Structure 1
Amino acid sequence: MGKITGFKEFNRKTEAYRSVDLRIKDYGEIFTGYSDAVHLQEQAARCMDCGVPFCQSENGCPVDNLIPEFNDLIYHNKWQEALTRLLKTNNFPEFTGRVCPAPCEGSCVLGINNSAVTIKNIEQAIIDRGFDEDRVKPYTVEYRTGKKIAIIGSGPAGLAAADELNKIGHNVTIFERDDRIGGLLMYGIPNMKLSKDVVDRRVKLMQNSGIEFIINVNVGKDITTIQLQQDFDALVLTTGVSKARDLLVDNRQAQGVHMAMEYLTHNTKSLLDNGYAEESDLSAKDKDVIVIGGGDTGTDCISTALRQGARSIVNFELMSKPPTKRMSNNPWPLWPLIYRVDYGHAEVTEVFGKDPRQYCLMTKSFIKDDQNSVIGLNTVNVDFQNGEFMEMNGSERTWSAQLVLLSMGFVSPEHYLSDDANIKLDEHGNYKAKYGQYTTSQKGIFTAGDCRRGQSLVVWAINEGRGVAVKVNEYLT
């Protein structure tokens, strides 16, 4: 490495978000952008000459980014070379640099007894500066094979597969059931974390590289897989997981109880269609909002509700509050299961004076009025013992709520497409295909991403999109 003693000389310093009082007034990205080159050179200099870069191990970066290499290049102020190196392994660093939780930082060797290198900030700065300097260009395909591939689903897995197959020279068409390209990137992640201009910019590049996009076509309903197989040499299913985990308690059907993704999608679509957040039954304006379930989606819900003008916001967590430091059963280089304050938690704390999260709470029932509208819910505190949740006597409580959002993860893809394609499912209801092979039970039909592996990260979707492209190419050639 260029600065052998850099990790001793410089402290970790991340790029700041926009101040809370400013960013909660709009839906713009929370990021301030990359700072001066000197700051980033210093942060890159903290990358150790560690011998074995665990940031690239199975616990680190799923797309095998050459992290020590681009850190070294940034330290030496070689931005173009760093961009070239980054794009060798990651098709869309402008997405992962914004939304990936950075497992690479969790397995950074420096993180054993110090603060990890700011890998995520450096990655985002490399690609953002590349775009700012007009260094990211459409890919020029010099030779076409004549083979045609249909990809169903335009999320990160489908886009990565399309990008790789197009570079080889195959003709790629992506089918998307929604009215815009991007899948999870477009409607599952709010503008504050990923501006839709960033998604559209990448889609435009791919279009200019020769990839065709078809929207508002729901394969399995509007058109059958048999019809597609007549026109294409291979099919790739990258539909993601859209069947959300429900909460089947009394009065679940009360009006005002919604799935988190329905809520987030509605808000994002309103912003894109109208330029403002539409006030409707799904709006949090002047309501007591309860979000059941944590994780990234739960955070996105509380942040969106805050911007819509919620009267109060509470976030229920079933598990107990995480520790502030690694426990003995969670050693490095595993992902640190520790207490974190994400952007939405910080925003709600700033506005309402306390963290919105309530731990060890189980919802027992919803409360509705005579018009079948939710007005509250009943909970009980629980303790996790011997693999089971034990209810604590005397801990029952009633909460006021006029909008409840269920953010408890996803269980599987919807099955109308797999039924139409007549492919087998695994024990979890996902499309059955072996990791690394991606072949379904039907010849010529492949699958990758969350619909194959289950709910996961954007960076894993890119990993599988790149992987399935290799197998499709082998099949076609």
Structure 2
Amino acid sequence: MGKSTGFMEYQRQSQTERDPAERTKDWKDYTIPMSDEEVQKQGARCMDCGIPTCHTGMEINGSTTGCPVYHLIPEWNDLVYKGQWKEALQKEHEMNNFPEFTGFACPAPCEGACVLGINEPPVAIRTVERSIIEKGFDEGWVVPEPPSSRTGKKVAVVGSGPAGLAAAAQLNKAGHTVTVFERNDRVGGLLTYGIPEMKLPYSVVERRVSLLKQEGIKFVTNTEVGRNYPTSRLREEFDSIILCGGATIPRNIEAEGRGLKGIHYAMDFLHANTKSLLDSNLEDENYISAEGKDVIVIGGGDTGTDCISTSVRHNCKSLTQFDIYDKKMDERDDLTNPWPQYPIVHRVEYGQKEAGSVFGRDPRAYSVMTKKFVGDENGRVKEVHTVNVELVFDEKGNRSRREIPGTEKVWKADLVLLAIGFGGPEQDLIEKLEIETDDRTNVKAEYGEYMTSEEGIFSAGDMRRGQSLIVWAINEGRESARECDRYLMGETVLP
């Protein structure tokens, strides 16, 4: 695959980024497309490794490694190296309905499993993936492909995030009539309102949704099933239902002063900002502004990073991101984190780079636990009190965090954003459909089968598995569509 000596001749080069100080002045994509020649060199780095692990998604020690949609990575790397871009696009679409979504916003567990990554920087798989699909759109190769005939079966998909869109796309290919319900005013779920514009432009989502509409899928927005669209009507009008509502209940912090004004969940902050940006370029002011404020972001993951980049663009006064974990090592520990596990290493993401360009430092503070919030006379947050913690283990190997005496600290804060993950799906619709849940409040449905406790109702994505990656949502959307097709037709034509 690729050039036999490519990995020795070419250095890894991933997507080029715009200057951090400049890009914080706008909301445009923060990356710069690479030339065809540069991308071909990255494809050439793909080794003829015999047993590739990049394309086989699995979970090891609680994290994903390899590609959950089983992307044919070595094959399209080879095709790109040879300049056969259209053929590479066909290979890309065989296993992934939306390579642009993963190309823009996936953390690339495939690269963590790359064999070259054992002792060299891995192949820039995500960069190649994104370059293929963008070239496909630029060249006009990505066109609507409606089914040649219809089965007469009608399927409702509830939720238009990556799982819902993938399920809808596959069921439509099988010839079923598909309607997707979305409670927000725009299609895309967290692709639209959970990922900032500079990281995943809405035009990218809109472009794909337009194709799906042309292929015959119907989208019903501003409609929340179970509230302004009765579940009884849903059951009557459709032959099958797939629930893809996501895991949207945010985790909270049980700390003194939590009810003070100025403390918000990250998704409320990001959603309002994107909606206002798309509606009016922020001129309607219907968003939570960080302008001129001392901002504290609690949570060290991707959502926290998105809050950082958004706050910087609001021209905040200061910015700090609390991470309860220690600072990670620059290189993976081969004893505790061996290949092909996803490498647990220190990374400086786009948001930290931007904050560094404005404030002259990485905004993160490590091993920090929030103890309480303190407010002013108007009930608005003004301080966050913290203590540093360390990880300790008891004689049974159980771990816990112990406060380190003397590390107490008070931080100024006008705006606090909670980005500590999600607890599970909202329960209202689940209860109205009388569907069983597991011990984590997720919809109970076996992986690979996806049927819930109610006949004809399936579930996929975060609503079934809990908070996870875009690529897992696409995997489950595709697979749930296959099982739904089998249920409706007695057999299936879907992979």
Task: Could you tell me which runs of 5 or more consecutive residues in structure 2 were left unpaired when the two chains were aligned.
Answer: 59-64, 394-398, 490-495
Q: Could you tell me how far 1:249 is from its partner in structure 2?
A: 0.8
Contact 2:272 2:286 in 1 (8 A): no
d(CA) in 1 for partners of 2:76 and 2:465?
29
Task: Tell me what 1:17 maps to.
Answer: 17
Contact 1:224 1:420 in 2 (8 A): no
Give runs of aligned pairs for residues 375-394 of structure 1, distance below 5 A. Answer: 375-386=382-393, 387-394=399-406
Give runs of aligned pairs for residues 38-437 of structure 1, distance below 5 A. Answer: 38-57=37-56, 58=58, 59-276=65-282, 279=285, 282-327=288-333, 328-386=335-393, 387-437=399-449
Task: Tell me what 1:462 maps to.
Answer: 474
Contact 2:370 2:384 in 1 (8 A): yes
d(CA) in 2 for partners of 1:189 and 1:414?
20
Contact 1:45 1:75 in 2 (8 A): yes
CA separation of 1:332/1:278 partners in 2, compared to 1, >3 Å: closer, same or farther?
Answer: farther
Contact 2:2 2:46 in 1 (8 A): no
Q: Could you tell me how far 1:135 is from its partner in structure 2?
A: 0.7
TM-score (norm 2): 0.95
The amino acid that maps onto 2:457 is: I
CA separation of 1:281/1:460 partners in 2, compared to 1, >3 Å: closer, same or farther?
Answer: closer
d(CA) in 1 for partners of 2:412 and 2:39?
47
The amino acid that maps onto 2:414 is: Q
**Structure 1 runs, 4 residues or longer, greater than 6 Å off:** none
Encode CA deviations 1:195-217: one digit per residue, 9 max, x unaligned.
Answer: 00111111100000000000111
The amino acid that maps onto 2:27 is: Y
Partner SS state of residue 383, structure 1? strand
The amino acid that maps onto 1:148 is: K
The amino acid that maps onto 1:176 is: E
d(CA) in 1 for partners of 2:432 and 2:225?
9
Task: Tell me what 1:438 maps to.
Answer: 450
Q: Could you tell me how far 1:15 is from its partner in structure 2?
A: 2.4
Contact 2:374 2:381 in 1 (8 A): yes
d(CA) in 1 for partners of 2:9 and 2:175?
48
The amino acid that maps onto 2:302 is: D
Task: Could you tell me which runs of 5 or more consecutive residues in structure 1 were left unpaired when the two chains were aligned.
Answer: none
d(CA) in 2 for partners of 1:253 and 1:5?
60
d(CA) in 2 for partners of 1:2 and 1:202?
29
d(CA) in 2 for partners of 1:395 and 1:140?
62
d(CA) in 2 for partners of 1:417 and 1:6?
53
Q: Could you tell me how far 1:139 is from its partner in structure 2?
A: 1.3
Q: Could you tell me how far 1:140 is from its partner in structure 2?
A: 2.2
d(CA) in 1 for partners of 2:366 and 2:15?
30
Partner SS state of residue 272, structure 2? helix
d(CA) in 2 for partners of 1:226 and 1:139?
33
Q: Could you tell me how far 1:278 is from its partner in structure 2?
A: 5.3
TM-score (norm 1): 0.99
Encode CA deviations 1:379-403: one digit per residue, 9 max, x unaligned.
Answer: 1111110111101112111110000
Q: Could you tell me how far 1:223 is from its partner in structure 2?
A: 2.0
Q: Could you tell me how far 1:279 is from its partner in structure 2?
A: 4.4
Encode CA deviations 1:399-458: one digit per residue, 9 max, x unaligned.
Answer: 100000000000100100101110011010101100000010000110000010000000
How many residue pairs get aligned? The number is 476
Contact 1:376 1:398 in 2 (8 A): yes
Partner SS state of residue 303, structure 1? helix
Identity %: 51
The amino acid that maps onto 1:103 is: P
Q: Could you tell me how far 1:280 is from its partner in structure 2?
A: 6.2
The amino acid that maps onto 1:112 is: I
Encode CA deviations 1:129-186: one digit per residue, 9 max, x unaligned.
Answer: 1001111001121010000000000000000000000001000000001111000101
Contact 1:96 1:458 in 2 (8 A): yes
